[in-house]
A and B are shown apart, each in its own frame.
Chain A
């Protein structure tokens, strides 16, 4: 309904070399880079950017990653397109095997999942995420969908890559979440170690404005996109911004962009973004190495 035709990202014709790219493409490529080759990686349902990031990683720098598809729990499938819903046979295509629900969650519980992607309506400075409710949980202003498996998995998965596509709204990155669904580095009840959690917690937070890592359990801005100013990031961020070391996000590999366009002809990834963000366009420099200008 809304997806048709939304996938075409720029003016280039099919088969022509990729010259321009958009923020959704850049973000998916940046998320892919948080994956290390050989890791067992999982995404939850309703996570098209994470789904795409994992497939891009598998087909570029991480051919030995074990890709566990969200909801279907298919191992290393080769979807012909990303569907708008995640519990769909299209995400099992050419998978040799699909795990059972319990096999996936047991794997996570015993520390066998190396990385998981998580997002949230709110993400706080410690990397806690809220996908449950905005406002008081007993009488929420907005009841969000819920966390699926994140509450348990965030305790035991090796590392988490968080992402947010609505950072600029000012409502997504907050000092403290209204409700903690999935656990970051610490809550008012203590640190991960004090709570007995075996996983290392959030490692990266990728947004449409920049990329954070975590130092001593607090988010720290490491890179921003070239069309974004520090002041914009600061005003959109609900916690005190540590940016002492912030550089520019390196441009995506054109191969990665080509792969993700082919993988997502319906443009499902674009549904995670506000319309204005999708207008952001970027170009590679002539030597292909750096982002020259933003149009």
Chain B
């Protein structure tokens, strides 16, 4: 395993970057819910026909739902998958979980964080409170109860978790792979240091001095590849560039309610759009421009989210 990535120029194509993700890999998805999810990379994973992916992450939405719908996923180890009060349960994920076509290993945010930290710290496990007394442990035979050697307390030891790949979408990076990230960072930083490999898509590849001025959150040596994909988080948001595309998300959730709808959606927006340029053309310039108008006024923002 190479522990650092030192090439001077890591800018590559989406297809080449995603070719590095293998069937069966443990994949961490950046962002959360309707926010900064790596949707262009999700679409490319589906185009390349990836299978049996083991997803890990916190509270997510369409990224997980779409990958599951496309049959790319073997295991879902997320703390939540859905669309909150916005559109409710994630239809494709729900169907797959109920019929057993994906293995559910539901996790909890702090548990996952501690597992990533153990990988970052280079130790085999971390202890957590919680889990005991709940049903979560039944899905995780890898957890173990331990007694503190210092206080006699019983805790749950959760093993180090080092994803094979972390997929993160960011506003900006330089060609060496220094990445500027916006808050909330969610688990993006932790994924970066815990994972064996990090692939980053960005709204814009920028000069090194500009990224440094914005503030580097992910340093170049941890990042394997950089791909410039404007609107690479669409239909989730990537502030300050654009808010989330609520209409598109709603249309997906409606389509995802049955196999026919899923097939139609994938054919139109994923397999039928062989590149992200083609995908964006389908969404339309006007719509994309609208999503950037969130900061015009509170009224406009509210309108875009209603």
Query: For the complex, is A164 an interface residue (Cβ under 8 Å from B)?
Result: no
- The segment from A84-92, A214-222, A280-288 that touches chain B is A84-92
Given A151-B108, A152-B111, verify A144-B134 contact (CB < 8 Å).
no
Bound together, the chains give a CA A233 to CA B185 distance in angstroms of 43
A118 sits at the interface (CB 8 A): no
**Which residue from B85, B109, B129, B186 sits with its C-beta under 8 Å from A46?**
B85
A-B contact count (CB 8 A): 204
- The reply on B20 being an interface residue by CB < 8 A is no
| B104 and A150 form a contact (CB under 8 A) | no
Shortest C-beta distance, A277 to chain B (Å), equals: 15
* Residue among A100, A101, A132, A145 with max Cβ neighbours from chain B (10 Å): A145
B106 CB, min distance to chain A CBs, angstroms: 5
Assembly CA distance A197 to B150 (angstroms): 17
- B244 contacts A71, CB within 8 Å? no
- What is the distance, in angstroms, from A213's C-beta to the closest C-beta of chain B? 21
B98 near A272: Cβ-Cβ < 8 Å: no
Interface range for A: 35 or more
A10 at the interface (CB under 8 A from B): no
The answer on a CB contact under 8 Å between A3 and B306 is: yes
- Cβ–Cβ < 8 Å partners of B86 in chain A: 84-85
Complex contact A101–B185 (CB within 8 A): yes
Given A87-B184, A152-B131, A154-B130, is A143 in contact with B84 using a C-beta cutoff of 8 Å?
no
* B 178-221 contacts with A by CB, 8 A: 183-187, 189-190
Q: DSSP majority for the A interface? A: loop
Interface membership of A140, Cβ < 8 A = yes
Cβ-defined partner of A151 (8 Å) among B81, B131, B237, B302: B131
Assuming A87-B35, A183-B133, is B80 touching A147 (CB within 8 A)? yes
Of B108, B117, B185, most A-chain CB atoms within 10 Å: B108
Which A residues lie within 8 Å of B243 (CB)? 88-89
Which single residue of chain B is at the shortest CB-CB distance from A95?
A: B183
Instruction: Tell me whether A98 is interfacial, beta carbon within 8 Å.
Output: yes
Query: Which interface class (under 10, 10 to 19, 20 to 34, 35 or more) fits B?
Result: 35 or more
Q: Given that A88-B237, A109-B110, A196-B153 are known contacts, is A1 also in contact with B246, CB under 8 Å in the complex? A: yes
B84: chain A residues within 8 A (beta carbon): 45-46, 84-86
Q: Is the CB of A143 within 8 A of B94?
A: yes
Bits for A171-194, please: 1 = Cβ < 8 Å to B, else 0.
Answer: 000000001111100010110000
A residues near B (Cβ < 8 Å) are: 1, 3-4, 45-46, 48, 71-73, 80-81, 83-90, 92, 98, 100-102, 105, 108-109, 128, 132-133, 137, 139-156, 179-183, 187, 189-190, 195-198, 265-266, 268, 271-272
25 contacts between A and B (CB under 8 A): A3-B306, A45-B84, A71-B35, A73-B184, A80-B302, A81-B302, A84-B246, A85-B83, A87-B33, A88-B237, A89-B237, A89-B240, A89-B294, A101-B185, A101-B187, A102-B113, A132-B135, A142-B98, A151-B134, A152-B109, A152-B128, A152-B130, A181-B135, A195-B154, A266-B305
